[in-house]
Structure 1
């Protein structure tokens, strides 16, 4: 139900649908991974697999990147993922960073929030960038990785059959040509109306909200700063909630709530949309000329599958869960899905992990989805009250907020944040491996840390430095040291253990397990490569409660797998072995 108007200031490339050489209507080459859906989630997964040398094919029904701004906010966590995948520079170059926002009740400001941002951070807490730009940046990198990523444009999935021996056969149609493709693994990234999910008879469960929002993209030249603006019951649109976001290239996103008695089909007609948008701009003091670009309608859902792995088929993004847009968890949670699944599926395909590792993808990301849904539902119930009681409560909060600071946090939009996998089976496997191997120290290690990220949490950011080959000191951050591999952070250099660590690296390299060590010093490191870094102020040591001998083992997705007060190469090897055979 979208209506294009003036073109976006963006010229997408268009691609023809091509059918590979067929034998009896089938592509004779079995694909390691078929990714259904070429949006941000599918593209991120393809790039994550390519970083591990795994081939994949993206199956996309359209002939180009998407139309409409759709997902527009990329979180710091997603930027960290793109940093590890080598694509973050384009996002920082084209996106508009922002750190907070304001909320108004009628014509009075009642709440102002600021997301976490300090000198420790290398990335902004959020950038605004339209989904078509997100997809184009990822597609540019995919085309540079054409040796490992194939894209089937203008190709639709019409059916799927899981095979008794493993893998699945996809029934496809490109133009008028039906054909089949076999894949060892299929990942459904095909959105909220997932064809794969329907074909397998799977249902999302949860809550569907009745409230509807009209989403309008307009072109407007304005020097107004980039921030999230929310208007509750504004004089320009009485009884409505309005959200406003500035995007790159003078594109603005305006979302406004429909009243219960409004016809959604009539609501997207230009003659009804234009006056509503004009009234919003008038109330903001925006007097410049503007043009509509795109109109659609949105209904909030808080739904998820119970499991994200079904045999050889896995689900990610909106195909797995639908999260309300409030708090910008939709695309960001899908990108996190792809990051989590990418390293695990890569390890399985490369023969270094048991397929049981993929069950932990489902465990962790279902847990994350339920966390995201709980926050998203709270935000939705405040933005669009589902009952008279919720509406009464919101009116009271907004009315009191101007004079009573204590109630203002209830207006907080609860922006997306990194989820800690506190009950992950991987945490348990690594802990059990340590306990079995060193029972005497296991209890001590479990309570040895008074602070710092516990297993399952994401590493915090921190400024560091490193010596270059010519001896110069350069400023870096902790995330600059992380790659799509397991990383052991060694605090302090113990020369007596260097040989054991080198033997571990050699052993894991021979087994094709992606791994590296980084030694962190509180003074200038004696080496000038990525295996050493300096924590000149001791800030990272403090944040991680680290001292000489401490070891943190980090997963390829940046989450802590295990930590030891007195770590060793042997302990790391046991934790990795337990993780990969889980």
Structure 2
């Protein structure tokens, strides 16, 4: 039984479009960073910069956080980033955690997957939370950093000029849509284009995304439905309720559900989104699931899959991130998550440049690493898309065979795997070479340079002998961190001197001393690996040092590391 359309259970705050005090039509203050686009990517970048004391102005065309059905799945990697930014608690309180999903062919379950989750983890592998809730949580934190983050609502970029002496001049218009409002200009040292798939900045610079655009279209429907069903990813291939279609179902907070279904080739997309055509399809899906409660439609839209990217993400003083840099198919939930990872990578590097810790050349590594990540994400996303919506007769024949065999033959079931998003390892990053990682070859296992540090349970011992349970990621501040295993007290003075030297240069750096439970601990406080699990995962022994980047990736590692080794590695990356 359906009810009339209802609004989302969310009331956004609305903000006026305000223009700063102008001199001859221009903001007289040159901005360090202008972030164009106030979605999850732009907001994450603003917070990452603020954690380093870097001021930014966030330019957003709308007067509030987003509306409608957009990103809904946030990965563990994104949650780790939000943890470092101090905003993760709101996500964990509001989001619905899930660990896996099931796929059905017609009316038979043919595949079940579970994402990695064990007692060592501090965060779930995935949560479902609507994008308007994501943005509101980030905006709440931004407003707590009003001294560092200036938000310009109802403001659009109308033109951009890169200046010969560096930086850029932005032409802006604040006020209502169209040609009304106040036109003004702003000079900025750096522009971060986070303005989405229809990026104004990208178009103004004459840049094009390249890759694959798929012909298949999907209807996305959000509904309100009160159900006690568990949170998981549900996929239905050629279900009796919608023959010839593929259907995805996700539960969200506040009794909101998303239903995606593929349109057949002979269906008109314009007609397909009309309520009289959508509502019976949704009802048939719910009937097949055994959901008998009353429901209301909230939102209907149509989606087309793209697998596109820019060739480079740095163009002079302009840096691209999120959908402005790449468009990833929704399958595998890599869109918003890859954009948040962009912001995390760009945030620490741009902060180092603005704060005078590094030359602008460091930003080339942002492009190198995140273009590599985008291509890997696109590769997985394309495989998932081609299975969800076969682009040719041959693909369709293969998929039908796999689905038909999967019930009885376990060997083919992995082909149904949706390949959920995961942290990308920058194994070929130029920063790995700059840091001098020849010593890394002596490790038989553990995260290689460029890889995200794994999570692990630890104990922190205070000076009075008390202990508290923590996780490794609790120790990582928004700076560089040296993990010293079984640290030699004779080297403590050298490490303390390194910290003083870096502090004088305003380079955020800390050291963590890690020992086994049965080993003496000279540092107060110190961190204990009670089961030895972290030592085993990192192939660590007394004297081992891991140097961690501000984004949680390994920069360098040594069997017998010293403060001098860490200083050389940092010097090569930061040119200090």
- Deviation for aligned residue 1:319: 0.1
Of 409, 413, 420, 1:415 maps to 420
Deviation at 1:526, TM superposition (A): 5.1
Q: Which residue of 2 aligns with 1:25?
A: 25
- Name the counterpart of 1:347: 352
Name the counterpart of 1:12: 12
Matches within 5 A, 1:382-421: 382-421=387-426
Q: 1:507 aligns with which of 494, 501, 507?
A: 501
Residues 552-578 of structure 1, C-alpha deviation per residue, up to 9 Å, x if partnerless? Answer: 000000000000000000000000000
What aligned pairs does 1:46-445 form with structure 2 within 5 A after superposition?
46-175=46-175, 176-431=181-436, 442=438, 445=439
1: CA distance, partners of 2:135 / 2:524 = 36
Give the gaps of 5 or more residues in structure 2. Answer: 176-180
Within 5 A, what are the aligned runs for 1:517-556? Answer: 517-523=511-517, 525=521, 527-529=523-525, 532-556=526-550
**CA pair 470-294 structure 1, distance change in 2 beyond 3 A:** farther
Answer yes or no: is the 8 Å Cα contact 1:466–1:525 preserved in 2. no
**CA deviation string 1:478-524 (max 9, x = no partner):** 00001110000000121110110011000000011110000001127
Q: 1:452 aligned to 2:454?
A: no
Q: Give yes or no for contact 2:307–2:381 (8 Å, CA) kept in 1.
A: yes
- Please point out which of 560, 572, 576 is paired with 1:578: 572
How far off its partner does 1:415 sit? Answer: 0.3
Query: Relative to 1, partners in 2 of residues 1:470 and 1:290: Cα closer, same or farther, differing over 3 Å?
Result: farther
Aligned equivalents of 1:244 and 1:543: distance in 2? 36
Q: Secondary structure at the match of 2:511?
A: strand
Once the 2 structures are TM-superposed, how far is the Cα of residue 525 of structure 1 from its aligned partner? 4.2
DSSP-derived class of the 1:134 partner: helix
- TM-superposition CA deviations, 1:203-225 (whole Å, max 9, x none): 00000000000001000000000
CA distance in 1 between partners of 2:524 and 2:249 (Å): 47
Deviation at 1:187, TM superposition (A): 0.4
Tell me the distance in 1 between the aligned counterparts of 2:132 and 2:11.
Answer: 10
Q: CA deviation at 1:469?
A: 5.3
C-alpha distance in 2 between matches for 1:329 and 1:108: 28
Residue 178 of structure 2 is matched in structure 1 by none
CA–CA separation in structure 2 for the residues paired with 1:425 and 1:450? 22
Q: 1:447 to 1:527 in 2, by over 3 A?
A: closer
State the Cα distance separating 1:448 from its structure 2 match: 1.3
Q: Using the alignment, how far apart are the partners of 1:472 and 1:270 within structure 2?
A: 62
Aligned residues of 1:356 and 1:581 also touching (Cα < 8 A): no
Would the aligned equivalents of 1:467 and 1:527 in 2 still touch at CA under 8 Å?
no
The CA distance in 1 between the partners of 2:66 and 2:238, in whole Å, is: 32
TM-aligned CA deviation for residue 292 of structure 1: 0.6
CA distance in 2: counterparts of 1:471 and 1:274, whole angstroms = 63
Q: Say if 2:440 and 2:556, in contact at 8 Å, map to a contact too.
A: no
Which secondary structure state, in structure 1, belongs to the residue aligned with residue 347 of structure 2?
Answer: helix
Q: TM-score, normalised by structure 2?
A: 0.97
1:488 alignment partner, one of 475, 482, 488: 482
Aligned to 2:10, what secondary structure does the other structure show? coil
| Residue number among 478, 486, 491 corresponding to 2:472 in the alignment | 478
Over residues 169-196 of structure 1, what are the superposed CA-to-partner deviations in whole Å (9 max), with x where a residue is unaligned?
1111112111111110000000000000
Instruction: For structure 1, list consecutive stretches of 5 or more residues without a partner in the other structure.
Output: 435-441
Structure 1 distance, partners of 2:463, 2:139, is 34
**Cα-Cα RMSD:** 1.1
CA contact (8 A) 1:471 1:528 kept: no
